[in-house]
Amino acid sequence: MNSEFLAILEYWEREKGINKDVLVKAVEEALLSAAKKAVGPARELRCAIDPKTGDIRAFAKLVVSDKVASKHDQISLFDARRLKSDAQLGDEIEVEVTPANFGRIASQNAKQALMQHIRRAEKELIYSEFKDRTGDIVSGTVRRFERSDVTVDLGKFEALLPNRERVPTEEYQIGERIRCYVKAVEQSPHGPEIILSRADPQFVVKL
How do beta strands 74-76 and 56-65 pair?
Answer: parallel
Structural domain containing residue 182: 132-206
CATH number of domain containing 155 = 2.40.50.140
pLDDT at 122: 77
Q: Which residues contact 15 (CB under 8 A, 6 or more apart)?
A: 156
> Quick one: how far is CA 189 from the chain centroid?
19
Q: Where a domain ends, among 79, 104, 129? A: 129
pLDDT at position 174, please? 96
Q: Against a cut of 0.85, is the pTM above it?
A: no
Is 147 in the same domain as 124? no
pLDDT for 1 equals: 52
pLDDT on residue 11? 81
Q: Using alpha carbons only, what angle is made at residue 122 by residues 12 and 172, rounded to the nearest 5 degrees?
A: 90
Same domain, 90 and 190: no
Position 130 scores a pLDDT of 85
Whether residue 140 sits in one domain with residue 101: no
Q: Are residues 194 and 156 in the same domain?
A: yes
6 and 46 in a single domain? The answer is: yes
Choosing from 83, 112, 129, the residue where a domain stops is 129
**Which pLDDT score, from 0 to 100, does residue 184 have?**
92
The whole-angstrom separation of Cα 125 and Cα 137 is 19
Task: Report the C-alpha gap between 150 and 19 in whole angstroms.
Answer: 30
Query: Consecutive 10-residue runs of the chain (207 residues): their mean pLDDT?
Result: 70 78 77 75 78 80 90 89 92 87 70 76 80 92 94 91 95 96 85 91 85
Would you list the DSSP string of 140-200?
A: EEEEEEETTEEEEE-SSSEEEE-GGGS-TT----TT-EEEEEEEEEEEETTEEEEEEESSS
Domain boundary among 104, 129, 154: 129
Are 192 and 162 in a shared domain? yes
**Domain total for the chain?**
2
Q: Are 152 and 180 in contact (CB under 8 A)?
A: yes
On whether both 139 and 74 belong to a single domain, the answer is: no
pLDDT of 8 = 76
Q: Are residues 112 and 46 in the same domain?
A: yes
* In a shared domain, residues 94 and 157: no
CATH number at residue 80: 3.30.1480.10
Mark whether 117 and 154 lie in a shared domain. no
Q: Say whether both 78 and 142 belong to one domain.
A: no
Say whether both 8 and 106 belong to one domain.
yes
